[in-house]
Structures are given as C-alpha cells and as structure tokens.
Structure 1
Amino acid sequence: MRECISTHVGQAGTQMGSACWRLYCLEHGIQPDGLTSNAGVGQAGDNSFSTFFNDTGSGRYVPRAVFVDLEPIVVGELRIGAYRQLFYPE
C-alpha cells in the first residue's frame, strides 16, 4: 500500500494545504467531519483514499498531513474553520 504524508509550511503552505485537503475530501467523498458520504469512498472496492487519509478505526478518516507555521493565526484558522473536525488537534 502506498501512503502519502503532506507537509505544509508557513502561511502560504498552510493556506494551500487547506485548499488541497478540501479538494481531496470532495474527490474521495469524505465529509468535513471525517465521515464518508454514500457517494464516494468504497465504491467497487476502491480504497485509493487510504493513500491520503488514515482510518481511525471508528469510521472517521483524518488527513496524513502536518501543518507548521511560527505564526499561530493561520494554523488557528484550520481549528475554527469548516473542516476543523477533520484534523487531529496535535
């Protein structure tokens, strides 16, 4: 199995990473809370989403991503945004 871990550094990297993960969620049928929608994940045995997302074991998927910035405001926007439940807080 192939796994991809993305790192997003700085304000621009964090903002671009946030946009990318929104797109990945739309492409793979994952809702903003990490749960799967009926149209998307698991169709015809497709598990390509596991390359980008980690299954928590409780039916939720979290991105394989690290966001780093010295200024806490930009990363803080992820914590209060629409996709705040998608990411682990650590």
Structure 2
Amino acid sequence: MTRRDLQFWGVETGAVASPPEPPAQVLGSPTPAALESLQWALIGSHTGNQLSALIIDFTHEEILAAYNQLEFQQQQHLRKIWVTKLESGSQLQR
C-alpha cells in the first residue's frame, strides 16, 4: 500500500476523492452487458478480498466504467470496504 493509495481513498485527509473518469469509448471497451455484470459483482462484494478478486479478473478501465455508473451510496460502500482493506494491510506491515 502506498501513500498515494491512502490519499486516493481519503484515508489521510478524511475526505474521499472521486476516482478518475474512465477513458472515452475505445476499441475493446466492455459491452453494456459486461458492465452490468461487473456492477452486480461490485455491489455484491462485502470484503476487500472480494474486491481484489475483481481487480484480478477485470481491467482497470472496466472496473472504473462500472464503478462510475453506480449510485453514490454504492460507491461510498465500496470505498469503505477498500479503505478497510488498505488500513488492515498497513497494520500487518508494521
């Protein structure tokens, strides 16, 4: 975990930053059906390990595209899960 990871998720400042906008549609972009499936997988995640598994299975662009289409409360829930995972990882490294 890097300082930049913590800053992105708002751990150091107390404010949660918005993820960068996904790139414009490009060749090979996920289909709407694939984005919807990924959105359901994101919403269904309850642990940082589940989110990590999605990061392994999908590209950064796919995850950002699906994440940006979620409702604000859903995004906040995912941020909370991810911040918890990042914080617990930093405690293990001490």
Q: Shared topology, TM-score over 0.5?
A: no
- Structure that is richer in strand per residue: 1
Q: Which has the larger radius of gyration?
A: 2
TM-score (ref. length: structure 1): 0.28
TM-score (ref. length: structure 2): 0.28
